[in-house]
Amino acid sequence: MRAVFQQELSEVQSRLVSLAKDAKTIMEKASAAFLNSDVSLADEALALTDANEERALDLDELVIKILATQSPVAKDLRILVSALRMSASIERMGSLASHIAAIARYRYPGNAIPASLRATFEEMARLDIKLAEKVIGLLEDTDIDVAREIQADDEAVDLLHRRVFDVVLGPDWSENAMFTVDVTLASRYFERFADHVVDISAKVSFLQTGDWQELS
- Nearest partner of 210 among 80, 75, 10, judged by Cα: 75
Q: Is residue 215 part of a domain?
A: no
pLDDT at 214: 44
Q: Is residue 119 part of a domain?
A: yes
pTM of the shown model: 0.92
Query: What are 196-213's pLDDT values in tens digits?
Result: 999 999 988 878 765 544
pLDDT at 215: 42
> What is the CATH classification number for the domain harbouring 126?
1.20.58.220
Structural domain harbouring 52: 2-209
Alpha-carbon distances of 149 from 92, 159, 195, 209, rounded to whole Å: 21, 16, 13, 17
pLDDT at 25: 98
Q: Is residue 24 part of a domain?
A: yes
Query: What are 115-142's pLDDT values in tens digits?
Result: 899 999 999 999 999 999 999 999 998 7
Ranges of the chain with pLDDT below 70: 1, 209-216
pLDDT at 152: 87
Q: Is residue 179 part of a domain?
A: yes
- Nearest partner of 185 among 156, 202, 164, judged by Cα: 164
Q: What is the dihedral of CA 41, 47, 48, 53, to 10 degrees?
A: 150
Could you give the number of structural domains in the chain? 1
Q: Within 13 Å, how many C-alpha atoms sit on residue 156's CB side?
A: 16
pLDDT at 110: 87
Q: Is residue 216 part of a domain?
A: no
